[in-house]
């Protein structure tokens, strides 16, 4: 990455940021739910991730090594590590709703969320209230934040079945307009295409009188 970010002929800052977000962050955040939850001792892990992102921000912006971390992160368009982890954790807590009724994780939750899964002997539903207050972990976070999602998800919704999808029901009403750019006169071709699409937008958005 140091070679790719050479200041003379290397990648531009936007592509550096894309490379970091797509190639480095997913690896660094892998299995973070094992150590990122309320009450966990994760000071060392945070320190390593903050140092990593500080180096990435300096690499993206090309700033001096003495530049403040918060400023370089803002210039590079990077979310602070603790906020990024909190966002991923909140999404993971709510994503449990999209799992099937017999998914193994449901067997560890309380009776309200277990559905058709077989209850595990170490599940939350088998814990006394006093024990639940002492236990910390990902399952307890899911249990405490699961009720915040108000939408209803169906993993096997009827709309996802073959024959009931949008293109299956309304194939005659959907058309795919394929467009190929003329490389010999690229500017004119794109301009004509833009005029054509703008005309379609006006046609479908402006109400027409019935004759």
Q: How far apart are CA 47 and CA 80, in angstroms?
A: 12
CB 5 within 8 A of CB 59: yes
Instruction: Name residue, tokens 């209850």.
Output: 119
Of the pLDDT bands very low, low, confident and very high (cuts 50, 70, 90), residue 5 is: low
Percent of the chain with pLDDT over 70: 87
CA atoms within 13 A on the CB side of 81: 23
Tokens 């109400």 -> residue: 207
Cβ(31)–Cβ(89) below 8 Å: no
**CA 143 to CA 149: how far, in whole Å?**
12
Residue 11: pLDDT above 70?
Answer: yes
| Nearest CA among 96, 94, 124 for reference residue 110 | 124
What average pLDDT does range 15-25 have in this prediction?
91
With b for 16 or more beta-carbon neighbours within 10 A and e for fewer, the 150-181 pattern comes to eeeeeeeeeeeeeeeeeeeeeeeeeeeeeeee
pLDDT of residue 57: 93
* In the predicted structure, residue 92 carries a pLDDT above the cut 50: yes
Report the distance separating Cα 82 and Cα 32, nearest Å.
12
**pLDDT, mean of residues 55-78:** 91
- Better pLDDT: 167 or 2: 167
What is the reported pTM? 0.66
Q: Output DSSP code: residue 207.
A: -
Cα–Cα distance for residue pair 201/135, rounded to 1 Å:
57
The residues near 52 (Cβ < 8 Å, ≥ 6 apart) are: 24, 28
DSSP string across 52-91: HHHHHHHHHHT--TTS-HHHHHHHHT---HHHHHHHHHHH
What pLDDT does residue 183 have? 67
Q: What is the DSSP letter of 21?
A: I
- What pLDDT, on a 0 to 100 scale, did the predictor assign at position 146? 79
Range 21-39 average pLDDT? 91
Question: What is the distance between the alpha carbons of residues 86 and 164, in angstroms, rounded to a whole number?
Answer: 37
pLDDT 10s digits, 105-154 = 888 888 888 888 888 888 888 888 888 888 888 888 888 887 787 777 77
Evaluate if residue 210 carries a pLDDT over 50.
no
List, for residues 141-154, the tens digit of each pLDDT value. 888 887 787 777 77
Q: Which residue has the higher pLDDT, 35 or 181?
A: 35
């Amino acid at each position: 990455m140091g070679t790719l970010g050479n200041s003379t002929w290397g990648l531009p800052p936007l592509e550096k940021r894309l490379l970091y977000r797509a190639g480095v962050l997913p690896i660094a955040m892998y299995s973070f739910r094992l150590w990122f939850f309320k009450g966990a001792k994760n000071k060392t892990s945070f320190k390593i991730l903050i140092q990593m992102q500080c180096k990435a921000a300096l690499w993206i912006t090309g700033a001096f090594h003495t530049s403040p971390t918060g400023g370089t992160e803002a210039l590079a368009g990077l979310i602070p590590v603790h906020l990024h982890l909190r966002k991923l954790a909140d999404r993971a807590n709510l994503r449990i709703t999209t799992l099937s009724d017999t998914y193994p994780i449901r067997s560890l939750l309380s009776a309200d969320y277990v559905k058709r899964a077989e209850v595990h002997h170490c599940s939350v539903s088998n814990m006394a209230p006093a024990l639940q207050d002492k236990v910390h972990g990902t399952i307890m976070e899911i249990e405490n934040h699961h009720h915040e999602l108000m939408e209803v998800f169906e993993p096997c919704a009827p709309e996802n079945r073959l024959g009931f999808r949008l293109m299956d029901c309304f194939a005659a009403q959907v058309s795919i307009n394929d467009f190929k750019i003329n490389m010999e006169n690229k500017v004119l071709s794109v301009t004509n295409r833009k005029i054509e699409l703008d005309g379609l937008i006006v046609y479908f958005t402006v109400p027409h009188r019935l004759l």
